Amino acid sequence: MSVLNLLRSNFRTLRYAIVGVLNTSVDIAVFSLGIYWLDLPLLLANTMAFLVAVTQSFILNRFWTFSDYRKNISVHHQWLHFILLNVVGLGLSSVIIWSSADLVTSIGAKCAATILVFIWGYNVSKRFVF
């Protein structure tokens, strides 16, 4: 791997992490709104937070993080792939939250799920979406 490619790859990873921090903030804020203020069930609040955060995530990753990747694929196809893979991420997140909610706080369960799904999401986004 050339130095230029290594720098690009590291910069892309940094951009993905920045987008991830923004998305995580939105995700946890909407999740908290759902469970603490709207008194929604955990999985409904998680789904609501997912829908808001995944929309922001696609826009930022498509047009900033992976802007130089696979230009020959239409935005619609990338959006479909992104949504399908992130639905799997929602499933992973929900299983983690549901299975650990009695062991830690709701926010603790959400944070654990977010970390694991973040790692998974970068790899599938880079490989299959963008």
3-state secondary structure of 66: coil
Find the range with the poorest average confidence among 7-11, 72-76, 104-108, 122-126: 7-11
State the chain's mean pLDDT as an integer.
85
pTM (predicted TM-score): 0.70
| Plot region of 70 (φ>0 → left; ψ -120 to 50 → alpha; else → beta) | left
pLDDT tens, position by position, 28-85:
999 999 999 999 998 899 889 988 998 999 999 888 888 776 667 788 888 888 889 8
> What's the confidence (pLDDT) of residue 75?
83
